Chains A and B, each alone.
Chain A
Amino acid sequence: MIHTRASEIAVMNVRWLCSTTLRLVKKNKLPPRPKFTKEMEAQCEEKFLHGGRGPGGQKINKCNSKVQLKHLETGIVVTCQETRSRESNRKIAREKMALEIARYLNPDSSTDARTEALQRWVVQGKRAKEKKSKLKYAKHEEERQSKQQESLRRDAAIIESL
């Protein structure tokens, strides 16, 4: 069977995936994140942060979705304005707080297994991306060279015919 170069690359690609999947961290199988409990909700004070003075209401259309959560007993403060939605930010702030409280209660235990796994997951994603772009580059390079050779051949043919 004769392979063209491009399909060879595709095969290599598949092989690479097969040989490495076992060691990959899966996003949906990370160690569980700490839960934000009802008790924590009762121990927290929530604030919505705005620019402060200046006009409000209909006079201005700035997006304001920043949420601050303070855990009164430990003094831990987290803020979130990850999204334009205050509702979403309230949820994310609670996740962050649960993680901070877990860290506080258990400074050097496995509570950070999740963070660690997440970090590995991010790195792994970056590597995969790099590999992909390298392959893409190789393919482009190949096409470019074959085009160049083609035009050289045409030039040669023209010169010959003169």
Chain B
Amino acid sequence: MPRISPAMIRKVASYDPLLGLLLPVCRTAEAARQELHWIRNEGASVQRACALRARSVPLQYVLGSQPFGELEILCKRNVLIPRWETEEWASELAARWQTSRVTAPTVVDLCTGTGCVALLLKRALPRAQVTAIDCSPFAIALVTKNLHHNDIRDVTVLQRDILRDDRPAIAADLVVCNPPYIPRDAFVRDVTTSVKMYEPRLALVADKEFYTNLCDVWLRHTRSFVYEIGDISQAHFVADRISATTWSVGIRRDSNGKPRVVYGFKTDDVQLNKLYDGFGYLVR
């Protein structure tokens, strides 16, 4: 990324000192102006917010929340901030289940973090039985807060390490998961400063562990799954490991054109064939 020159910062700061604080972290004057507008709109202490942003603290930790569909998800240090890519597939998935004939599906959200995906699905499908699982005590505490904050009830929240603890898994219609998916070398190379400095590594760094866990553990207990991916190789890994005779597997791109989700359903299930038709493209 191009370096932002001190001259440019000075120029922007002479216009508004707060913009000068935001420019290095926002990268462009346009983005800085936009962010200042949001900060002002949300009634935060503007000075304090800009000072924290100048130190690369994520805006969502500064303002304390991130919109996710129609929900407002509270965000705190030690728990990953929900991303727009996740919001996008989760919203589309919720809409599809809403119009399907299964009105009360059993849903398991693994690696739930703030609980954003679990809560979005529960809001869209009030009769669904939703279980949210994470190993981090910070995440578990925040999920509970978010349930209250969004006035959602009846979501089961469990603290478990899903890679070690394979107590009889829940029989589900849908397993969703946004697992840590950034390999160690890519973490050093590609991850932006703000993420590296302030978001928990536990939520980010892993290679194929969680996709292996899907194939070896969760597949036996569900009719369909939707997993976020960081790289297309992770989708191929799942497709190659899964029985081609019983499972259909697909890849869905995000609106920026990047492969973002690997999903699958039992091939002989007529209902699910219809539900996932057009969600992505089938590779198996």
Would B88 and A61 count as touching, CB distance under 8 A? no
**B163, CB-defined interface residue at 8 Å:** no
Comparing A83-91, A102-110, A143-151, the segment that makes contact with chain B is A83-91
**B139, CB-defined interface residue at 8 Å:** no
Q: Which of B34, B58, B256 has the most CB of A within 10 A?
A: B256
Would A63 and B256 count as touching, CB distance under 8 A? no
Query: In chain A, residues 27-66, which have Cβ atoms closer than 8 Å to a Cβ of chain B?
Result: 47-48, 50, 52, 55-65
Q: Nearest residue in A to B41 (C-beta to C-beta)?
A: A83
| With A61-B192, A61-B194: A86-B84 Cβ-Cβ less than 8 Å | yes
**B239, CB-defined interface residue at 8 Å:** no
0/1 string, B62-89, CB within 8 A of A gives 1: 0000110110000000001101110110
**B181, CB-defined interface residue at 8 Å:** yes
Would B254 and A63 count as touching, CB distance under 8 A? no
Q: Nearest residue in B to A52 (C-beta to C-beta)?
A: B256
Would A57 and B228 count as touching, CB distance under 8 A? yes
Would A59 and B60 count as touching, CB distance under 8 A? no
Query: How many B residues touch the partner, as a band?
Result: 35 or more
**In the complex, which residues of chain A have a beta carbon less than 8 angstroms from the beta carbon of B195?**
58-61
Q: Nearest residue in A to B196 (C-beta to C-beta)?
A: A59
**In the complex, which residues of chain A have a beta carbon less than 8 angstroms from the beta carbon of B141?**
none
| With A48-B88, A81-B34: A57-B190 Cβ-Cβ less than 8 Å | no
Would B192 and A84 count as touching, CB distance under 8 A? no
**B255, CB-defined interface residue at 8 Å:** yes
Q: Nearest residue in A to B229 (C-beta to C-beta)?
A: A57
0/1 string, B183-195, CB within 8 A of A gives 1: 0001000111011
Give the CA-CA distance A58 to B83 in the complex, in Å.
7
Would A64 and B70 count as touching, CB distance under 8 A? no
Give the CA-CA distance A60 to B204 in the complex, in Å.
11
Query: How many A residues touch the partner, as a band?
Result: 20 to 34
Contact of B58 among A55, A59, A61, A87 (CB under 8 A): A61
Would A88 and B67 count as touching, CB distance under 8 A? yes
**In the complex, which residues of chain B have a beta carbon less than 8 angstroms from the beta carbon of A47?**
255
Would A59 and B182 count as touching, CB distance under 8 A? yes
Give the CA-CA distance A161 to B53 in the complex, in Å.
60
Would A61 and B60 count as touching, CB distance under 8 A? yes
**B252, CB-defined interface residue at 8 Å:** no
**In the complex, which residues of chain A have a beta carbon less than 8 angstroms from the beta carbon of B67?**
65, 83-88
Chain A's nearest CB lies how many Å from the CB of B31?
A: 8
Q: Nearest residue in A to B260 (C-beta to C-beta)?
A: A57
**B199, CB-defined interface residue at 8 Å:** yes
Would B38 and A50 count as touching, CB distance under 8 A? no
Give the CA-CA distance A64 to B190 in the complex, in Å.
19
Would B190 and A59 count as touching, CB distance under 8 A? yes
Would B38 and A63 count as touching, CB distance under 8 A? yes
B interface, CB within 8 angstroms of A: 34-35, 38, 41-42, 58-60, 66-67, 69-70, 80-81, 83-85, 87-88, 180-182, 186, 190-192, 194-195, 199, 203-204, 228, 230, 254-256, 258, 260
Known: A56-B85, A63-B60. 12 other contacts (CB 8 A): A48-B255, A58-B181, A61-B83, A61-B194, A61-B199, A63-B35, A63-B66, A64-B84, A83-B38, A83-B67, A86-B84, A87-B67
